[in-house]
């Protein structure tokens, strides 16, 4: 069970350029400040991930995510309200090129996450700092359902470890909403925690 003081420490860790292992709603993740080039480089090095691969930006409330992306159109904002929080990563148009370090080679596309936190991790809902988030595994390796499943080298290299118990273990479903504002079109890029029928029902 994550306590309120641990959530506060997590937020401070992000503020000073640290890297943390934490439980989301799907699998364990790595988090850092999306505006810190040094922290992002450390996170990618821990994963042994190529620096040109995009990551997601995670907010811990839908309101904070919407406030940070004021250029999103009305239809897209309604879709975010319908799908979030939940086990999805949404690919959104990013004309303002926000959170560029998370976007990889395409700065006009942003991956967005807002998790439906399980009860043991509910205290993280008070975190107001957005984080660059990626799964806490080596690139291409298995996802971690428990803190002890995170590779030892990652646990030793991180500045903070948060234990939220056992998670479902299925990564988020990646949904492309970049054309949604114009014509309501969407597609699933990676099947995961939310299946296509659930996505369609939410967006209907």
- What tokens were used for 133? 């988030």
Is pLDDT at 51 greater than 90 in this prediction?
no
Give the mean model confidence (pLDDT) for residues 19-34: 98
Mean pLDDT of 172-201: 97
| CATH number for the domain that contains residue 158 | 3.90.870.10
Structural domain total, the chain: 1
Average pLDDT over residues 97-114: 97
- Round to whole Å and give the CA distance between 193 and 174: 9
d(CA 47, CA 137): 6
pLDDT over threshold 90, residue 78? yes
User: pTM of the predicted model, to two decimals?
Assistant: 0.96
């Amino acid at each position: 069970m994550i306590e309120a003081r641990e959530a506060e420490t997590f937020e401070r860790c992000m503020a000073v350029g640290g890297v943390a292992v934490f439980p989301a709603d799907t699998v364990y993740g790595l988090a850092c400040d999306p505006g810190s080039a040094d922290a992002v480089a450390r996170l990618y090095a821990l994963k042994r991930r190529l620096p040109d691969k995009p990551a997601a930006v995670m907010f811990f409330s839908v309101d904070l995510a919407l406030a940070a992306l004021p250029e999103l159109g009305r239809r897209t904002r309604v879709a975010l309200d319908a799908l979030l929080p939940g086990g999805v990563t949404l690919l959104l148009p990013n004309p303002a090129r926000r959170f560029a370090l998370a976007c990889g080679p395409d700065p006009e596309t942003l991956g967005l996450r807002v998790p439906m936190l399980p009860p043991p991790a509910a205290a993280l809902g008070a975190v107001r700092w957005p984080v660059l988030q990626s799964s806490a595994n080596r690139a291409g390796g298995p996802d971690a359902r428990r803190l002890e499943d995170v590779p030892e080298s990652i646990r030793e290299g991180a500045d903070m470890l948060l234990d939220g118990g056992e998670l479902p273990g299925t990564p988020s479903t990646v949904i492309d909403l970049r054309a949604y504002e114009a014509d309501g079109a969407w597609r699933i890029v990676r099947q995961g925690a939310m299946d296509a029928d659930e996505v369609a029902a939410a967006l209907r």
